[in-house]
Amino acid sequence: MSDWLVSLEGTSAGHQLALFLALLAAFLHAVFGALQKGRYDPWLSRGAIDIFYCLMSIPFVLFVVPWPEAHMWPIFAGAFVIHLFYKLLQAQAYTKGAYTVVYPVVRGMGPLFTVIGAYFIFGEIFAPMQWVGVGVLLAGIFGLALYNLIFLVSERDTLWAALGLAVMTGLFVALYTTYDAYGIRATADPFTFLFWFFMLDGLVMPIIGFLRWRRMDAPPNPGPLLLRGFFGGIVAYFSFGSIMLATRLDKVGEAAVLRETSTVFAALIGWLVLKETVGPRRIALMSLIAIGAVIVEMGG
């Protein structure tokens, strides 16, 4: 499968597959965010998710994928640090603010800075119409954030802290998207990067989650929490794995922008599953996000 995937790089078929993978990542990332923010403390949820995708990776790194080349170890170390800071900021942001408040800001920061980073690192250039699409998409995402800032009253005391953490998290989204694209292109077999990344990335948050669980006055039953972690681990594999493969097959900037249609899915999940309020204004702003993504794709 690795040889087939590599053979599609730079081809029309590769572009179409990258488009599908980016949109799949968008939907699954919204599901992933809801799993982390939902019923349990986000630190516990993330710890449970990480331990499962770490354990799932071990058989693959030992028996399936080729061993990483020597130059990959510093790259893995960099990815480990970047993703750790991202996860710490993300969990803290979810602690301070509602899912539909934090998520749009995080995802809005990501594509803009990723497009800029892709220009400097990979030499990618967006057409003028694609920049129009980026502007429309960002208008929708930051419009959602502004709407929350004006009308959300229940969490007013922690709203500014949540938004500040969300902005910082979004910067790390851009950083890890660009860095992971560099990493997955640096090895001959893309699945070597994926499975080793997931194994190493899942080592720290389970420890933090367990320590937090043990200090709680009324810690939740570990059974349902671990079940959520199991499903979250599977979702993480397909979500993060899809976007990483998309950035190897095609332009990093386009994949990053298309992934941010996850904000639309996130708002729907927040409304339907988490019972958070989504009114007509939010629906209109979500439509801008979707329209912006279409313009980016059609304008290339």
Residue of higher predicted confidence among 115 and 44: 44
Helices H / strands E in the chain, number of each = 13, 0
Residue 20's CB is within 10 A of a number of other CB atoms, namely 13
**CB-based contact 249:15 (threshold 8 Å):** yes
Q: State which residues form the domain around 56.
A: 2-298
Say what the pLDDT of residue 76 is.
Answer: 96
Average model confidence (pLDDT) across the chain: 83
Most confident listed range (26-30, 107-111, 256-260)? 26-30
The pTM of the full predicted model, rounded to 2 decimals, is 0.81
Closest CA to 137 of 254, 260, 251: 260
pLDDT at 210: 92
Tokens of 230: 């199991």
Q: Is the pLDDT of residue 298 over 80?
A: no
Query: Regarding predicted confidence, which is higher, 269 or 221?
Result: 221
Contact 206/47 with Cβ under 8 angstroms?
A: yes
Q: What's the pLDDT tens digit per position in 6-52? A: 788 878 888 888 888 888 888 888 787 777 666 778 788 889 999 99
Buried b (16+ CB within 10 A) or exposed e, 88-120: bbbbbbbbbbbbbbbbbbbbbbbbbbbbebbee
**How far is it, in rounded angstroms, from Cα 145 to Cα 150?**
9
Give me the number of domains the chain comprises. Answer: 1
Percent share of the chain, pLDDT over 90: 25
DSSP 10: T
Q: Residue 192: is its pLDDT beyond 70?
A: yes
Q: How far apart are CA 68 and CA 110, in angstroms?
A: 28
Tell me the average pLDDT across 55-71.
Answer: 95
